Structure 1
Amino acid sequence: MTREFGVDVSLVQLTLSVFTFGFAAGMLVLGPMSDRFGRRPVLIGGVAIYVLASLGCLLAPSVEALIGARFVQALGAAAGPVIGRAIVRDVYTRVEAARMLSYMASAMALAPAVAPLIGGWLHETFGWQANFAALALFGALILLGTLGLLRETNDSRDPRALKARRLVGTYRMLLTDRRFVGHTVVLTAMFGGLFSFISGSSFVVIDVLGVAPGQFGLAFACVAGSYAAGAYMSGRVGHRLGLERAILLGALAGALIAGGGAGLAWAGIETVPAVIAPVAGFFFCCAFVLPNGTAGAINPFPHNAGSASALLGFLQMGGGALVGYGVGALHDGTTRVMLTSIALCAITALIAHLTLVRPDE
């Protein structure tokens, strides 16, 4: 892209930062919209915007146009997770919602494992534009599936959901509800641990551990595969443990495993197993926390599920992005910063669950 548009790397990297911002901002708008107009029409509109913006990225004549198209693309993309979670809340009970979110998470975990391999092949074979063509194609398939298969699930639409006073009041109510705040802090902390690895892994694995760039995808796939396995396991046994017990177990095990990884880093043990094994273990534990915590945060609000999902997603994404930025900014040429950040995030999640969430709920 730098060669194509004749710009420096920092300007091209802005396309990712803008996408992250647009994704988080889109959640805050699309969630309440689905409370007002229904899940199906808002999801259809969001995916349609995503497809058109992906084509705009493909045909962008300048890096400025690409940045703008990426922002619009992110707004449309936000419809998927925020409305998907709200639909699960509409259809399933609290326990079943956690189970279904676990299965969804196991499927979603395949994306970071497979996408770099597909994206790399498309780039090598057809150029960077091919990735945006693939995104447009995937979006079109999702749009067709939504049109043909998804029924409306919001049976209690709020005609005032988008009124400024109602919107502010809803978000204020959520931010003063202990159940929502407690679960959101737990989720944001664990998500920050995930982002610590996503942001710092290339520096650590390639630069510090000396793994060839071509093999980096395999290390990433091991970690993503561990998350998928944990999500599947959570879906199978989570309902037996109970929602809050599953969160506590995941947070406690995650803190112990991540703490062990940080201990190895501070002891100067810098090998691939010493990094990938504790990170994979932490990701496995995250798969018990994130789906169950999401159900715990959203389920108490049947009439504001879209808004609750939106605020939860915004805080998760924003908090994770800040932690990830900090890991990159503080990188010191060792494995310590990344693994310490993961450990601190896991410990924060555990403390938040013990202090803000009642285990008997």
Structure 2
Amino acid sequence: MALPHVGEWLVAPQRRLRIGGLMALLAVSSFMTPLSLDMYTPAVPYMAGYFSTTPDMVNLTLSGFFVCFTLGMLVFGPISDRFGRRPAFVASYALYVVGSLLCALSPTVEVFVFARVLQGLGAGGASSVSMAVVKDAFDAAHRGTVLGIMQVLFVIGPVVAPLLGAVIISSLGWRASFWALTVVGVAAFAASLAFEETISDEGRVRGGAGVVLGRLAAVARNKGFMVFLVAVSCLEMSFMAYIAVASYVYMGIYGLGEMSYSLCFSAAALVGVAGPALYAAISKRTGVKLFTTGALVLGFVGGVLLATVGRCGFLAFCLVSMVVPIMQACVRPYSTNILLEQQKSDTGSASALISFIRGVIGSMGMLMPLLPWPDYITALSVTTMVALAVGIVLWVLLMRSCIPLATVKGDQPAKPW
């Protein structure tokens, strides 16, 4: 589709960035998280030896990033409602650049973990604000399409990142991967300076921190919003657990090298690119309710397959580990659109809460492998089955309750993305 036509989707013009620059900025916001998480995973099994520390301390560089990523989303979303999207964007990318630079220069594992905290806060802020900008800047008819494009980029990140990371790390060392992220952050920071505000003065929340937090609490009191959000976010828990253990399974249990691991990891992530198209094709016949039910059930089946078939070799593990990523990729875009439709105002707070809950549940998935499991495959399969069982129960209860869920229960069909 030609950019001039796409430009007609905008309801908040960007005279400096234009449609191409805005889409690029939103793309980086989506691409940044998987890039920051997955680009250095080929080096994770060796980091304990490099810093003379424990594997659990090294895992904090992954889980710590993601925990602070969720905090960044929760903080910067409401801030963008109060002070505007542009200041929140600029501050987020500034934090990300500083964190990435410190990662590249870290002399100890403690400094490295702290640097990842800063990097996570910045990435979380950019992610949360970008979701609010989509609702501000694009008309309702095409908003879902933009979210779908962002989801594809979010999925492509785990495909490209480990392959790129393996090449950079094998030739230049693990620090070079963070120098590359610093360059990406600087480019995004420059684009954020050119970004033009998308929320009007009249649309901003007035008052101090108490008022801002109050608006966040008001969104959280929407029962349909919260139950639906938690139910579909259970897929995030399994997906992030996979990210946390994949290198240990492929390289530790099955003995693969850096590049072979990256190819297997990328294959599981690559299938997620088909998620939005798969939803578009199937949902026309099934509708949102049945499709969501099927996605959650298939995610649970994926956990069962990991516990059984996944132990038959690295290829079997690679194949069955594709189930949850593709279900997550199917559900994420349309569920985000449905969630944003539950709130007519407080878009930044709603975006922050969406990202925060997903991040918290995802962080739980990354922390689960730290428990004393017999092996990492058991950790991943049990985490997946428990998470998806909870998601199925919540979804069924929501559908059978009298709790409203706009565009899904009784109102009107969900807008196509």
When normalised by structure 2's length, the TM-score is 0.75
Q: 1:99 to 1:136 in 2, by over 3 A?
A: same
Q: Which residue among 283, 288, 294 is the counterpart of 1:252?
A: 294
5+ residue gaps, structure 2, are: 1-46, 400-404, 412-417
Report the counterpart of residue 349 of structure 1 in structure 2.
391
Paired residues for 1:132-151 under 5 Å: 132-148=178-194, 150-151=195-196
Further displaced range: 27-36 or 89-98: 89-98
Shift of 1:83: 0.8
User: Retained in 1: the 8 A contact 2:62–2:244?
Assistant: no
Separation of aligned partners in 2, 1:356 and 1:181? 10
Paired residues for 1:147-226 under 5 Å: 147-148=193-194, 150-155=195-200, 156-160=202-206, 163-209=208-254, 211-226=256-271
Q: 1:300 to 1:257 in 2, by over 3 A?
A: closer
Separation of aligned partners in 2, 1:311 and 1:241? 31
Q: What letter corresponds to residue 152 of structure 1 in structure 2? A: E
1:69 paired with 2:111, answer no
Q: Which residue among 14, 39, 45 is the counterpart of 2:60?
A: 14
Separation of aligned partners in 1, 2:102 and 2:341? 37
Shift of 1:27: 1.5
Q: 1:255 to 1:343 in 2, by over 3 A?
A: farther
Shift of 1:337: 4.1
Further displaced range: 26-35 or 203-212: 203-212
Q: Which residue among 352, 358, 372 is the counterpart of 1:310?
A: 352
1:30 paired with 2:76, answer yes
Q: What letter corresponds to residue 353 of structure 2 in structure 1? A: L
1:291 paired with 2:336, answer no
1:116 paired with 2:162, answer yes
1:99 paired with 2:154, answer no
Q: What letter corresponds to residue 292 of structure 1 in structure 2? A: Y
Shift of 1:2: 5.4
Q: What letter corresponds to residue 218 of structure 2 in structure 1? A: M
Q: What letter corresponds to residue 299 of structure 1 in structure 2? A: E
Shift of 1:311: 1.8
Separation of aligned partners in 1, 2:85 and 2:394? 31
Separation of aligned partners in 1, 2:170 and 2:257? 17
Separation of aligned partners in 2, 1:97 and 1:188? 21
Report the counterpart of residue 381 of structure 2 in structure 1.
339
User: Retained in 1: the 8 A contact 2:310–2:317?
Assistant: no
Q: Which residue among 320, 323, 327 is the counterpart of 2:365?
A: 323
Separation of aligned partners in 2, 1:335 and 1:238? 31
Separation of aligned partners in 1, 2:306 and 2:76? 43
5+ residue gaps, structure 1, are: none
Q: What letter corresponds to residue 132 of structure 1 in structure 2? A: F
User: Retained in 1: the 8 A contact 2:79–2:212?
Assistant: no
Separation of aligned partners in 2, 1:99 and 1:5? 44
Further displaced range: 152-161 or 23-32: 152-161
- The sequence identity of aligned pairs, in percent, is 27
Q: 1:241 to 1:298 in 2, by over 3 A?
A: farther
Separation of aligned partners in 2, 1:63 and 1:301? 42
Shift of 1:229: 1.4
User: Retained in 2: the 8 A contact 1:54–1:135?
Assistant: yes
Query: How much is the aligned-residue C-alpha RMSD, in angstroms?
Result: 3.0
